Structure 1
């Protein structure tokens, strides 16, 4: 009887977060199947047409599939181990530097941790391959929001940890503002320095908000940083 009453009085936000995480994982897996298998030609047609018009042959891969897969698995293991040490030192760094935990974990860590990814996107942009640059940037954001975040919720559920998607107002507002700004920037399919400047200024404003904010991180963000 006590178990039934506990189930009835369970936090609805937690239940909704877990259900939403399952739906988000299904959507992300469906997206991967759509992009890589069932409708792969939709994502390759434009690149093939550009290669044929320019008379440039397709670039040879530097490493094979299984070599790349092995490197990916190995680096994932190493990064996961290093992340444990980083997360343990975030609060100490916040106290010693006088900087909020949210600014370190949401602004500084992604810049340092994704330095190679950012460099790759810039290099492809200099080579006038904006599709690849956008794929790197937006693909990473999609992977975090649609895969990593819900996966952390599901793993925490399995481990008996009450982790939910109830982020605070600043985090939710920053996410919504970023999505709207990027959508308006990309809707006409053109690019110039003014759009890049606007996005950079928006990022600076968001970073400044987290820098001055003393709001404690939600359970969701704290665990995602650990991931």
Structure 2
């Protein structure tokens, strides 16, 4: 089965138009099987508690927006017309919640959120078995479908033309690079195979990216001891 993960991951790509927008962009991808889903537990709680402690120290005298990597993501959002004060990158949104307690969602989501906060980097996770075709990062045409919810009901939205989105053959899986994931591919308590995405920009170095990837693999192993995973770094 790991060979299947590798073959699927080999098809992932970032469109040239995205690299034209941000030549410094890199995506660290982890495709995993043997995940053990379920509600938040002691293992995921320990990961989140450690992340909250790190965030408290990091933000003692600093606003999240002033952190170098968060600042880079704010500039990236502005470059395709998004307003970062209204639609914050995922890591900034988490950092702003850390002082009052990070959300406890489920053991897999908790694991990657903890890494996101600890390494100040956007991280996402989705159910690989819900994908239709390979994973692509593109600038949207505007007619792609994005399944989300409003007032408890599932609805279809469309990204703005030029917006940076992750997508598969069916539609958008995550809007505004790492702002909001779709309902169709979200992690659930039945997910056993997943794709995890670490989005990075300068000033993160190659060493920083590698450290975040190692931390995510470690966190996933903590919650899923039988995990098998393959990884790939996408660069220009």
What TM-score range do you get, normalising by the shorter chain?
A: under 0.3
Which structure is higher in strand share? 2
TM-score between the two structures when normalised by the length of structure 2: 0.22
Larger Rg over CA atoms: 1
TM-score between the two structures when normalised by the length of structure 1: 0.22
Which structure is higher in helix share? 1
